[in-house]
Amino acid sequence: MRILVVGSGGVGDAVARIAARRTFFELLVVADMDPARAERTVAAVQAHPASLATGRFVAAQVDASDAEAVAGLIRAHGITHVLNAVDPRFVLPVFRGALAAGADYLDMAMSLSSPHPTEPYARTGVTLGAEQFAEDGDWRAAGRLALVGMGVEPGLSDVFARYAADHLFSEIDELGTRDGANLEVLDDDGNAIFAPSFSIWTTIEECLNPPVIWERERAEAAGGIEGGWYTVPPFHEPEIFDFPGGIGPVECVHVEHEEVLLMPRFLDAKKVTFKYGLGEEFISVLRTLHTLGLDRTAPVTVRSADPAAPGRVQVSPRDVVAACLPDPAGLGERMRGATCAGLLVTGTGRDGAPREVYLHHVVDNSWSMAEYGAQCVVWQTAVNPVVALELLSTGTWAGSGVQGPEAFDAVPFLDLLAGEYGSPWGLQERTPSS
C-alpha cells in the first residue's frame, strides 16, 4: 500500500504521527499547498522515538483544488490509496483526481451541501455527499473504492451504528450521534479563552447550515429514501446529554452532519439524528458571526491593507474569521480536558426488550499530547482512517464504489482500534425512555 495524505493541517499531521508506528504500508506521501508544512510533519514523524518511519515518509506540494494536480502526484509516486485531509471545499477535486489516477480514496468529510432555495429550514437542497454518491457508478466501473466519511464523526460513529445493528438490536428506533467535550483552551496566564479545537471553517459549515434529520416514515410515504430527509433551523431542539469520561452534562443541538446522510443508505432505523455539544458560549459566537454575515464564503470587496499595492481586494468573510483564530493544530499544549464521540442507539434488544445504549470513544488531551504530540480532537479524527487503511491493506475490508463505513464489518475495526492502537471504546447501558 502506497498512501497519499492530502493536507498537513492538524488532522493530516496526526494521521502521519499515528501511521508512523504501523508497518502495513510501503510509502506515505504528505502533501500540502504549503510544502514547508508538509516537511515539518515528515520531520516530526521521523524524529519521534516510537516512529518506524525510516524511509517511508515523503513531503510534497499539491494544490487540492486542482484534480489534475492531485492525479499527477498520485501517478508520480505510484499511490494506491488517497486520504483526503483538507477541508470539504476540496473534496470533489481530490475525489475525482484519485479516480482519474486509478487510486482508492478515503475522506473524513463529504462534498458540501447547498440549502433548498425557497424552504431551507424544511426541505433539503443538495445534501452532503450527494455529488459523490452520484458518481458511484464510475467508481464501480473502475473497480475502485471511495470510502467516504471515515473520520470520527462521521466515521467511528457509523462503525458503531453497524455494530449496534449487527450485534445489539433486533429493531432500531433511533441512531442518534451525540458529540461533546469539556475542553478548555488557556492563555499564558491560565485563563480560559475562545479558541475552537477544530477547523472553524468546517464548524461554521456544520453548525449554521440547516440541520438534517431522517425518518423512515417520511421516506415510506414519499416512496424512497430521499423523501426521508428534512431540515430544521440551526440549534434546534436543545437537550442536555450526559457524556461519560468525566465530561458530564453538555447542551447539544441539531447540526448538519454526514451520519444522517450515510446511515439510512446502509442500515435500517426509524430515525437518524446528529446533535453536537456546542455549549452556550460557542452558540452565541456562531449566532453573532451569522448575524454579521461573517459565516459567508462568497468573497466581499475590501480595501487592500498593503500600502505598496493600494486598491481593493476580494476576501471570503469566513476565511478572515479562520485567519484571526489560532490554528487548532497548535493548541494542544494549551488545552485541558477530554472529547467524546458516540452514538446513542434506542430500540428493541436481541432479547425482545426495550434497550438504549451509548457507544462511545473518549480521548483525553493530556494522553494524546504526551503519546503523539497531537491535541485530542484532531488525534481522535485521524486515528480512524488509519485503522481503516490497515484493514483495507489486509483485505479485511474490501469493495468498490462509493461506500460509507456502515458497509463494512465493524468488529475488526473496533478490535484493532482498542487493541493494537491502544484506544478503547465503551458501551454504556442507559435506561430506555418511556
- Work out the pLDDT band at 53, boundaries 50, 70, 90: low
- 100-122: pLDDT as tens digits: 999 999 999 999 999 999 999 99
Neighbours of 366 (CB within 10 A): 13
Q: What is the pLDDT of residue 240?
A: 93
What is the per-residue burial (b if ≥16 Cβ within 10 Å, else e) of 197-236? bbbbbbbbbbbbbbbbbbbbebbeeeeeeebbbbbbebbe
DSSP 138-161: HHHHHT-EEE-S-BBTTBHHHHHH
pTM over 0.95: no
Q: Where are the domains of the chain?
A: 2-107, 156-308+314-430
Neighbours of 296 (CB within 10 A): 15
Strand partners, 253: 276
| CA pair distance 319, 26, nearest whole angstrom | 36
Which residues, including other chains, have CB under 8 Å from residue 171's CB and lie 6 or more apart?
A: 347, 348
Kindly state the cell numbers that stand for 178: 451525540
Strand partners, 126: 114
Give the residue, 178 or 87, on which the prediction is more confident.
Answer: 178
Please state, rounded to an integer, the average pLDDT across all residues of the chain.
92
- 123-181: pLDDT as tens digits: 999 999 999 999 999 999 999 999 999 999 999 999 999 999 999 999 999 999 999 99
Percentage of the residues of the chain whose pLDDT score is greater than 90: 75
Tell me the CATH class for 156-308+314-430: alpha beta
- 295-344: pLDDT as tens digits: 888 888 988 777 777 788 888 888 888 887 777 667 767 788 999 999 99
Give the residue, 12 or 205, on which the prediction is more confident.
Answer: 12
What is the per-residue burial (b if ≥16 Cβ within 10 Å, else e) of 128-139? bbbbbbebeeeb
Which residues, including other chains, have CB under 8 Å from residue 385's CB and lie 6 or more apart?
A: 15, 83, 106, 108, 150, 151, 155
| CA pair distance 282, 336, nearest whole angstrom | 17
Using the predicted structure, report yes or no on whether residue 5 has a pLDDT greater than 70. Answer: yes
Are 69 and 63 a contacting pair, CB within 8 Å?
yes
What phi and psi values does residue 74 have, to the nearest 5 degrees? -60, -50
Please state which architecture CATH assigns to domain 2-107.
3-Layer(aba) Sandwich (3.40)
- Axis crossing angle, helix 410-418 with helix 156-163, rounded to the nearest 10: 120
What phi and psi values does residue 15 have, to the nearest 5 degrees? -55, -50
